[in-house]
Amino acid sequence: LTRVARQSWGAIACVPAGSEHQLLVGERHVVGRKDCGILIGNDQSISRVHAVLTVSHAESSLARPSCRPALSVKDSSKYGTFVNGEKLTSGSERALCCGDLLKFGVFESKYRVAYSPLVVCSSCLDAESKHVLSSALLALGGHFVSQWTSDCTHLVMTSIKVTVKTICALITSIPIVQPVFFSTLVTAIRSRSPQPSHSSFWPLADEPGINPGDLDLTPRPERRLLFQGKTFQFLHAKQHKRLAVPIALAGGAALCLCSPGQRAEPRHGEAFCVVEPEAGCSQLSSQVLAQDARAWAAQVGVRLHTLGLRMITEAEVGLAVVYCSTHTYCNPSARLPGGEPPLLSERANLAGATLSQNLALEPSEGVAPDSTLYAADTQ
Sign of CA dihedral 80, 86, 89, 92: negative
Kindly list the averaged pLDDT for each block of 10 residues, start to end, along the chain of length 379: 39 73 94 93 93 96 94 96 95 94 94 93 94 96 94 96 95 97 96 94 89 88 97 91 96 85 71 82 48 78 88 94 94 79 45 38 39 41
Q: Name the region of 20 (left: φ>0; alpha: ψ -120 to 50; beta: rest).
A: beta
Hey, how many other C-beta atoms are within 10 angstroms of the C-beta on 288? 9
**Directed axis angle between helix 180-191 and helix 127-140, to 10°?**
30
Residue 353 φ/ψ, nearest 5 degrees = -115, -130
8 Å CB contact between 75 and 54: no
pLDDT recorded at residue 304: 87
Residue 288 is predicted with a pLDDT of 45
Name, in order, each residue with C-beta under 8 angstroms of 141's C-beta and a sequence gap of 6 or more.
Answer: 8, 9, 10, 23, 24, 25, 55, 57, 68, 69, 118
pTM (whole model) above 0.85:
no
Alpha carbon dihedral 258, 264, 268, 272, in 10-degree steps, equals -40
Name which of 72, 69, 85, 77 is nearest 32 in CA terms.
Answer: 77
- The crossing angle, in degrees rounded to 10, of helices 237-249 and 314-323 is 10
CA angle (255, 259, 260) in 5-degree steps: 170
Residues facing 38 on adjacent strands: 31
Model pLDDT, residue 267: 80
Residue 95 bridge partners (DSSP): 72
pLDDT at 251: 98
Distance CA 359, CA 346 (A): 10
Question: How confident is the model at residue 9, as a pLDDT?
Answer: 47
Return the bridge partners of 168, or none: none
What integer pLDDT is reported at residue 278 of this predicted model? 74
Residue environment code for 137-149, b if the CB has 16+ CB neighbours within 10 A, otherwise e? bbbbbbbbbbbbb
Phi, then psi, of 191 in degrees rounded to 5? -95, 5
Cβ(54)–Cβ(93) under 8 Å? Answer: no
Question: What confidence score (pLDDT) does residue 107 get?
Answer: 92
Domains defined along the chain, listed by start: 11-116 (2.60.200.20), 119-205 (3.40.50.10190), 221-337 (3.40.50.10980)
Neighbours of 21 (CB within 10 A): 19
